[in-house]
Amino acid sequence: MAKNMSGLSREFIIHPGETLKEILEDRGMSQKELALRTGVTESHVSSVVNCQKDISVSYAKKLEYALDIDASFWINLQGNYDKELADFEDVNKISDEEFRILKHLNGIIKHLKQIGLLEQKLQGPMLVIQLRKFLNVSSLIRIPELSQAGAYRLATETKVDPYVLFTWLRMCDLITDNQQIEQKLDVSKLKEKIPPIKELMFEDVVKIQPRLKSYLAECGIRFSIVKHFRGAPVQGVIKKNSDGTLSLLMTTRRKFADIFWFTFFHEIGHIIHGDIEDKLIDYEFIKNEAEDRANKFAENILIEAEGYSAFIEKGDFSLPSIKRFSVEQNIPTYVLIGRLQKDGHVRYYQYRGEKVKYVMEEG
């Protein structure tokens, strides 16, 4: 008894010829008589009854006349048999390479199960099958080639794992697809929301994501924070949706609050500057004019440019001085410290007690 790797028996896949054989026996009709009634050879009928030949659409029509059983019955039987047989063979022909890819994706697969995008109990070949469906590919082996086409074009840096990144991007799509908002993208309203969004920098971390979602939804933007995985060095993804909205996703890779807010306003800069044609995958290592413009936007939103230049000219980077200037700018101290560290005015180990870490829940 042939069994596939999921435990199903090949013998449970019933050829339509077996049903035809039972009907002939019930009616006391010989294969020869059926051959005469349908205008085919007796050997043709014998081949069908013995499961050696399929029932074609044309022969299904002949059986409709000969047996008074609608052709659709036979066509459906044959279709179901073909589908079940294809499923059986599909499971048993999974290559070692696909199983290696599956093992390689173990971390992100575990997360997909935790958030309900993959079934918890699936493993082995059946997990490969479901992952193919999840990623809309006929084989996991196709991912590197597919990922270089169209909107899914991925970076070729050695830091990037095409399998992890492709799976991560699909996860991002599904997470934001589940968010329903009525407002289409409104960049003017987004600009108006920047001051109240900046006020969130003073809030407790648990309040930040739901408030950001609410503010951005009013501007036609679906927002979510997603888990980071090694092999997907992405700080943000922005995607145009068919309903006129945008999706903005940020990763949890960087835990410090100053980096979170700089990255957030960096992505907002991309949106305001109109940098998104279809999908913008904002890799951490990409440097170009659009990235420089988004960086400058984030810097100036967080700290007023002239005031910051004047502060730097004074050269007093003591903690009391930093705190006074932060109050003047109405920003948390950690924002200024992060900027000073980034610009090389203070060391990264300085003022550790003032740095704030965020532990954001994904979703």
DSSP per-residue letters across 178-210: T----PPP-HHHHHHHHHHHHHGGGS-HHHHHH
Q: Is the pLDDT of residue 2 over 50?
A: no
- Contact yes or no for 48/38 (Cβ under 8 A): no
Question: For residues 48 and 149, which has the higher predicted lDDT (pLDDT)?
Answer: 48
To which H or E segment does residue 85 belong?
helix 71-92
Statement: residue 360 has pLDDT above 70: no
**Residue 47's CB: how many other CB atoms inside 10 A?**
15
Return the pLDDT at 150. Answer: 45
Give me the pLDDT at residue 363, please. Answer: 58
Q: Give the chain's mean pLDDT.
A: 89
Q: Which amino acid appears at position 307 of this protein?
A: G
pLDDT exceeds cutoff 80 at 226: yes
pLDDT of residue 286: 75
- Residue carrying the six token digits 């988004």: 294
Residue keyed to tokens 């949106």? 271
Output the pLDDT for position 6: 47
Residue 276 above 80 pLDDT?
yes
One-letter amino acid identity for 20? L
**Whether the Cβ atoms of residue 31 and residue 93 lie closer than 8 Å to each other:** no
Helix (H) or strand (E) holding 251: strand 246-251
Tens digits of residue pLDDT in 30-53: 999 999 999 999 999 999 999 999
> Which pLDDT value is given to residue 153?
52
Question: Which amino acid, residue 83?
Answer: K
Give pLDDT, residue 305.
95
Non-local CB neighbours of 110 within 8 Å, separated by 6+ positions: none
- What pLDDT is stored for residue 320 in this prediction? 95
Local confidence band at 175 (pLDDT 50, 70, 90 cut-offs): confident
Other C-beta atoms closer than 10 Å to the C-beta of 99 total 15
Looking at the predicted structure, is the pLDDT value of residue 156 above 50?
yes
Residue, of 288 and 153, whose pLDDT is higher: 288
Least confident of 144-148, 166-170, 200-204, 249-253: 144-148
Question: Residues of the chain with pLDDT > 90: what percent?
Answer: 64
Distance CA 85, CA 79 (A): 10
205 pLDDT tier (thresholds 50, 70, 90): confident
Q: What band does 87 get if pLDDT is binned at 50, 70 and 90?
A: confident
Q: Check: CB of residue 66 under 8 Å from CB of residue 59.
A: no
The fraction of the chain above a pLDDT of 70, given in percent, is 92
Q: What is the mean pLDDT of residues 180-188?
A: 92
Confidence of residue 158 (pLDDT cuts 50, 70, 90): low
- Highest-pLDDT range among 73-77, 275-279, 289-293: 73-77
Distance CA 158, CA 160 (A): 5
Can you tell me whether residue 99 is helix, strand or coil? helix
**Cα–Cα distance measured from residue 207 to residue 195, given in angstroms and rounded to the nearest whole number:** 17
pLDDT in the model for residue 60: 97
Shortest CA distance to 144 belongs to which of 129, 172, 166, 128?
Answer: 166
Q: Is the pLDDT of residue 4 over 50?
A: no
* Closest by Cα among 249, 303, 258, 302 to 280: 249
Range among 151-155, 214-218, 250-254 rated most confident: 214-218
Judge whether 298 and 266 are in contact, CB under 8 Å.
yes
